[in-house]
Amino acid sequence: MDKLILYFQYPFVRYALIVGVLIALCSSLLGVTLVLKRFSFIGDGLSHVAFGAISIATVFNLSNNMLLVLPVTVVSAILLLRTGKGARIKGDAAIAMISVAALAFGYLIMNIFSTSSNLAGDVCSTLFGSTSILTLTKGEVWLCAVLSVCVVLIFILFYNKIFAVTFDEDFAKATGTAADAYNLMIAVIIAVIIVLAMNLVGSLLISALVIFPALSAMRIYDSFRKVTVFSAVFSVACALAGIVISILAGTPVGSTIVAVDVLAFAVCYAVGIAKGR
Amino acid sequence: MAYITAKDLSLGYETGVIVSGLSFSVNKGDYLCIVGENGSGKTTLMKTLLHLVEPAGGVIENGDGLLRNEIGYLPQHTVVQKDFPASVREIVLSGCQGRCGLRPFYNREEKRLAQENMERMNIADLADRCYRDLSGGQQQRVLLSRALCATRKVLLLDEPVAGLDPMVTVQMYDLIAELNKEGITIIMISHDIASAIKYASHILHIGDSIFFGTKEKYLESKEGRIFLDRQKGGVPVNG
């Protein structure tokens, strides 16, 4: 306990906690929609795209790599989520393809044009998030907070529309809901969340933040609203626990959060069985 | 002017045209059954009528005060819906989404409408149950209530009795016939030619040859006789 209080005197620990909780909240909100639309792996795919973009930004020595990473990720998200209507390569295959290709090219570019002496370390920290969450500046925390508030607000305001579009896109479209526009909106929000989340858990573990809360909630609850609320609570609780444990035990932040998520999922699974579903 | 008029319609995707030369009209109060073999383009026709797919050729005109988003739709089950965590009330309410525009939440009027339609379909007591736990017949009633929230004019039903047991199938047909009597126009895709002939007022047969007309005329037509003979002869047109 003393150790914890000591650590919380450092601003970077507080920043990490704030950003971690916000990102966990945002990713879990859209996680339910993504899992139900069979896009569980889009987090993984998009984060690899972001990884590729980061390598390019590094090579060109862009001072603020967000300027490149965010637009590239948003465009990829839109392309992937157009649900392959008439597309030549569909859903999961398209995600797998873009994801692997971006990863390979990102690593290749970093390797060829590397300016850093510790290449393996750079790649590792981009993929697994390792320490970057502990080096956040005040500005980044504010940016993250503002974007998170936007995501949560948009989600609440468009909650009923997101539900209608997720449950039955054709029906929504046929009866006059602008389903395409809402799909586009969902894609953009997801891309923003993923770029934010890369700081926290790194690109490999983002899928975990998206799918575990949703899957756990779906084991226990029966209505869309309850599932959404519970997955948000679940995600925030796991992120808090994970960050605290990683501080006390000195483990990597991202993988600790995911490990807590997995354990909590197991508990929810057991509760689901006990409830007879 | 009819609700829906199709003139020389061709259906298909980039890969090619499935059907061409379709002309028919649907008037207020009609009960139209669309029959034909698998792959003859029935579901594509349905999606075209809903403006989800552009026709490959020809035109569809809406008239008699029917707006293009005033067609309720009972789709076939999708994979997504099989394990979807949503309560019956949430699903029925989502039928009102079209009239919300940009307004974020449902108002009292829409909640009342949802309640009313659940009562009509006898599922009011299931309102807080989870959709995925319901039986096939109950799920269809939920989707019918939702469609009724969206419109009071035309319902498009895509294989509404697929996967239902015989008892529930009869109940479903009676329910649809009742809605039709109340003045709701019904357009239904069906493999079940016997029931189509029992309940429908008009038949649209699509396939190698096309027929459109009243059911009485269909029974006398070449297409009707061939199709009926084949079903009677025990060759399942579709299981």
**pLDDT score, position B235:** 47
Q: What is the pLDDT of residue A83?
A: 56
A15-66 pLDDT, tens digit each: 888 888 998 999 999 889 888 887 777 878 888 888 888 888 877 776 666 7
Mean pLDDT across A230-250: 91
CATH number, domain containing residue A72: 1.10.3470.10
What is the pLDDT at residue A263? 95
Q: Do A176 and B69 touch (CB under 8 A)?
A: yes
**Residue B31 confidence (pLDDT):** 92
Q: What is the pLDDT of residues B49-99, one digit of tens each?
A: 888 888 888 888 888 778 777 888 888 877 777 778 999 999 999 988 887
pLDDT of residue A215: 92
Query: What is the domain extent for residue A188?
Result: 2-274
Pick from A11, A254, A218: nearest CA to A129:
A254
Between A87 and B184, residue with greater pLDDT: B184
Using the predicted structure, report yes or no on whether residue A267 has a pLDDT greater than 90. Answer: yes
Q: Does B194 touch chain A (CB under 8 A)?
A: no
- pLDDT of residue B239 exceeding 60, the answer is no
Task: Select from B81, B90, B128 the residue whose CB has the most chain A CBs within 10 Å, as the one to mutate to test that interface.
Answer: B90
The reply to whether A215 touches chain B by the CB within 8 Å rule is no
pLDDT at A213 over 90: yes
Provide the pLDDT for residue A116.
Answer: 64
pLDDT for A265: 95
Structure tokens given for B208:
């190698």
pLDDT of B225 > 90? The answer is no
- Choice among A5-9, A75-79, A226-230, B1-5 with the minimum mean pLDDT: A5-9
What percentage of residues in chain B have a pLDDT greater than 90? 15
In angstroms, what separates the C-alpha of A208 from chain B's closest C-alpha?
20
**B103-156: pLDDT as tens digits:** 888 888 889 989 998 998 889 899 899 998 888 888 988 998 999 898 888 999
Closest chain B residue to A164, measured at CA: B94
Interchain CB contact of B79 with A (< 8 Å): yes
CB A74 within 8 A of CB A187: yes
State the pTM of this model.
0.85
- Do B25 and B75 form a contact (C-beta atoms < 8 A)? no
> Which is more confident, A136 or A183?
A183
User: Which residue in B50, B97, B105, B128 has the most chain A C-beta atoms within 10 A of its own C-beta, making it the best mutation to test that interface?
Assistant: B97
Q: How confident is the model at residue A157 (pLDDT cuts 50, 70, 90)?
A: very high
Alpha helical stretches, state H, chain B: 42-49, 79-82, 88-94, 97-100, 108-120, 136-150, 166-181, 193-199, 215-220, 222-232
Coil, strand, or helix at residue B74? strand
Give the number of domains in chain A. Answer: 1
Q: Do residue B75 and residue A168 have CB atoms under 8 angstroms apart?
A: yes
State in words which class domain B1-70+153-239 has.
alpha beta
